[in-house]
Structure 1
């Protein structure tokens, strides 16, 4: 099932380490089939409060997402980002299709 690695980053200090991280991350994704779906950009806020950048990377499976994140190649560049950006990073699976909103009620019961 398709899985997304999602980062909501804020307080990003654009510096040499962040530039190096951005220059190297694509090569770490390639062996695991990771591809950017969203990578920052303008956000049109309709409700609530949002600040920072949203990054979404798609993988074919949760296993591939975990393998990428834990890979030596990604772990080698990860400190370049974590020293200069704050935020949350997590993975989440796509819902099975077709999906109806009320299906989440089954999980709550």
Structure 2
């Protein structure tokens, strides 16, 4: 079952550090079969407010997502982003195909 690394980023300061981060992140995801689903787009907010840009990276499962985030390659570039953006980053499992809203009532 797929899992996702989600980032909510605001106040991103585009400078040399962010450029280096962007130039290197794809290579850190490759061994863990990660791929961008959403990358930096501001969502069309229908209810409430959201001031952050959204990043969603898909992985085959939560273990691949964790291993990528904790990998030496990603940990090496993480400070480039962390110093230049206010971020909330989290991992979450996806749902099996055929999931219904009422499944959470069980």
TM-score (norm 2): 0.95
Unaligned runs of 5+ in 1: none
Asked if residue 3 in structure 1 is aligned to residue 8 in structure 2, the reply is no
CA distance in 1, matches of 2:77, 2:87: 17
Residue by residue over 1:45-77, the C-alpha shift from the partner in whole angstroms, topping out at 9 and shown as x without a partner, is 111101121000000011111111111100000
Number of residues paired by the alignment? 106
Q: Which residue of 2 aligns with 1:21?
A: 21
The CA RMSD measured in Å over matched residues stands at 1.0
State whether residues 17 and 81 of structure 2, in contact with CA within 8 Å, keep that contact through their aligned partners in structure 1: yes
The list of structure 1 runs, each at least 4 consecutive aligned residues, that deviate by more than 4 angstroms after superposition, is none
Superposition deviation, residue 105 in structure 1: 2.6
Q: Taking structure 1 as reference, are residues 10 and 90 closer, same or farther at Cα in structure 2, changes over 3 Å only?
A: same
Q: Residue in 2 aligned with 1:50? A: 50
Offset at residue 87 of structure 1 (A) = 1.7
Report what 1:103 is aligned to: 103
